Homo-oligomer: A and B are copies of this chain.
Amino acid sequence: MSAAISPLAPRTYAELAPIAGVRLATAAAGIKYAGRTDVLMMVFDEGTSVAGVFTTSRCPSAPVDFSRESLKGGRARALVVNSGNANAFTGRRGRESTRLTAEAAAGALGCATGEVFLASTGVIGEPLDAGKFSGLLGEMAASADGAGWRGAGEAIMTTDTYPKLATRNARIGEVQVRINGIAKGAGMIAPDMATMLSFVATDAAIAPGALQALLREAVAPSFNSVTVDSDTSTSDTLLLFATGKAGGEVVEDAADPRLGDFRAALNSLLLDLARQVARDGEGARKEIAVTVEGAVSDASAKRIAMSIANSPLVKTAVAGEDANWGRVVMAVGKAGEPADRDRLAIWFGDVRVATEGERDPAYSEAQASQAMQADEITIRVELGLGDGRWTVYSCDLTKEYVAINGDYRS
């Protein structure tokens, strides 16, 4: 693991004020790491709605299976997260471990195990000894309080170099509500849904069905548009909890016009967290935003943008500050989506490097190289075929990525 903090880390961390109906606690259970917290417990007041989206992996972790099942009830009282061990591909013992953890949490709060949500992140394939932290949950539930969001973000880190935090305010009718979110993720980051763990809570009063619809909508341009290395985790989990403690009538329908401001705030918060994940991509020195325009559809634009953002050759070129637009052409071509070579135009930042299927007549190597020196590299491709448009976020591929992942488990 790299000790250095990403050069793309935020200069200052967002301050997350308490959310009514949410209490947090962290602990150091020594699951894998020494000298740091590795367990997070979030406790929710009765009546909290929950929505969630999970990895599309055909080999999901035991906690993903568990939380998917709990989600059917639509209600949450507790979330327990550990870092250092993903409890994935751990067979019967993995299921046993989730059962013990959920029973300990439910016992501490006097709730049903179906109101408990679980997430684990870290090494795959190692048995997770629930005994390491299930005994701590009673004390954690008792001591949990409304502060400590930053500590929560830190407890769920693995190869992350900084905690990911975001907060937004919004109005639902006359009611002022707040949304807080944390995320972790640095490698094995790819859609769909973009990997990692993220937990978001609000005091808004929104029924489970409406909350799920809002979350599905918000995840497409944010977490599902982020890729670090094209590798989809077994453990991707994004949960959104709504306590209703801000008051007001419970909103039952995602199409309710009163949700306009909340929807915008949620979308903005998820995009913020997702970009923080991309910017902490393992070994990342530069963020890459790829926008494809003029595609035959948004879906086609997204597939082409992903092909560019996942290309090792594009990503290493960005690492080398090389305005190598030929590799962008290659990545457009391999996506398998409609594209007309002779209509393509490509920009790095504000510099148009190619047009009508050739190098821009006004191409200047100096200008293009200048554009590549920024921390945030924008690659824009205009296909000239239709109105489809999408933006995805990624990062460069550096020697540090190889170093981090060539010596992670041992």
Interface residues of A (CB under 8 A from B): 55-60, 86, 88-93, 123-127, 187-188, 190, 229-234, 310-313, 316-317, 319-320, 322, 324-327, 329-339, 341-342, 344, 354, 356-359, 397-399, 401-403, 405-410
**A234 and B402 contacting across the interface, CB-CB below 8 Å:** no
Given known contacts A59-B339, A231-B312, A332-B59, A358 and B402 CB-to-CB distance under 8 angstroms: no
**B329 and A401 contacting across the interface, CB-CB below 8 Å:** no
Please pick, from B125, B327, B332, the residue contacting A354 in the complex, using a CB distance under 8 A: B125
**B312 and A358 contacting across the interface, CB-CB below 8 Å:** no
Given known contacts A313-B231, A324-B409, A333-B234, A319 and B402 CB-to-CB distance under 8 angstroms: yes
Give complex CA distance A329, B410 in Å. Answer: 18
Chain B residue nearest to A311 (CB atoms) is B231
Give complex CA distance A313, B57 in Å. Answer: 16
Give complex CA distance A88, B88 in Å. Answer: 44
**A325 and B125 contacting across the interface, CB-CB below 8 Å:** yes
Least distance between A130 CB and chain B CB atoms (Å): 16
- Contacts A229-B313, A230-B230 given; 9 further ones with Cβ under 8 A? A60-B341, A88-B329, A91-B342, A231-B313, A319-B406, A322-B408, A322-B409, A326-B409, A399-B403
Please pick, from B58, B358, B402, B410, the residue contacting A316 in the complex, using a CB distance under 8 A: B402
Can you list 5 residue pairs at the A/B interface with Cβ under 8 Å?
A234-B333, A312-B405, A316-B402, A317-B409, A322-B406
Given known contacts A316-B406, A407-B320, A88 and B326 CB-to-CB distance under 8 angstroms: yes
Copy total for this chain = 2
Least distance between A56 CB and chain B CB atoms (Å): 7
**B59 and A312 contacting across the interface, CB-CB below 8 Å:** no
B residues near A91, Cβ cutoff 8 Å: 342, 356-358
Given known contacts A356-B91, A359-B125, A187 and B59 CB-to-CB distance under 8 angstroms: no
Given known contacts A58-B339, A319-B402, A339-B59, A330 and B93 CB-to-CB distance under 8 angstroms: no
Least distance between A194 CB and chain B CB atoms (Å): 12
Identify the interface centre among A56, A313, A397: most chain B CB within 10 Å of its CB.
A313
Chain B residue nearest to A229 (CB atoms) is B312
B residues near A55, Cβ cutoff 8 Å: 333
Least distance between A196 CB and chain B CB atoms (Å): 13
**A58 and B313 contacting across the interface, CB-CB below 8 Å:** no
Please pick, from B60, B324, B326, B406, the residue contacting A317 in the complex, using a CB distance under 8 A: B406
B residues near A330, Cβ cutoff 8 Å: 57, 59, 88, 124, 188, 231-234
B residues near A332, Cβ cutoff 8 Å: 58-59
Please pick, from B56, B125, B316, the residue contacting A326 in the complex, using a CB distance under 8 A: B125
Give complex CA distance A407, B354 in Å. Answer: 20
